[in-house]
């Protein structure tokens, strides 16, 4: 799949070069309307190749941002909070959200 993604703009550029060659040949044979049409098609193919290249760059940036967002906690404070939030000591802990509370013996979970 990755090779096909790289081959598409190359095919666009090759098509644009061939159309430019055809436009020059038609100009030499005295057909200005065909020359203009072929030159316009050649420019459109070049524009599509450029658009394809820019779209690939945007996708690469989006993938990099998603990978950064999916990384686990990295700071010591984040890991400490995550550890404390997963280990409640009693039912009152949930009401205090891990803060200061009186832990009674009858409702301890551990």
Q: Which residues contact 73 (CB under 8 A, 6 or more apart)?
A: 79, 82
Model confidence, pTM: 0.53
- The answer to whether residues 82 and 98 touch, using CB atoms and an 8 Å cutoff, is no
Task: Indicate the pLDDT class of residue 37, thresholds 50, 70 and 90.
Answer: very high
Q: How many CB atoms lie within 10 A of CB 19?
A: 20
Total count of domains within the chain: 1
100 lies in some domain: no
Give the tens place of pLDDT for each residue, 2-26: 667 778 888 989 999 999 999 999 9
Average pLDDT, the chain: 81
* Domain of residue 85, residue span: 2-93
Structure tokens at 20: 């430019």
3-state SS class at 59: helix
**105 belongs to a structural domain:** no
Asked if residue 17 belongs to a domain, the reply is yes
In a domain, 86, yes or no: yes
Angle between helix 32-69 and helix 2-28 axes, rounded to 10 deg: 160
- Residue 101 inside a domain? The answer is no
């Amino acid at each position: 799949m990755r090779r096909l993604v790289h081959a598409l703009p190359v095919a666009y550029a090759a098509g644009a070069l061939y159309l430019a060659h055809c436009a020059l040949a038609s100009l030499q044979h005295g057909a200005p309307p065909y020359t203009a049409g072929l030159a316009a098609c050649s420019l459109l193919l070049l524009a599509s190749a450029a658009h394809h290249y820019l779209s690939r760059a945007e996708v690469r940036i989006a993938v990099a941002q998603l990978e950064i967002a999916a990384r686990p906690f990295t700071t010591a404070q984040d890991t400490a909070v995550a550890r404390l939030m997963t280990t409640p000591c009693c039912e009152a802990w949930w009401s205090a959200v891990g803060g200061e509370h009186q832990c009674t013996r009858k409702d301890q979970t551990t």
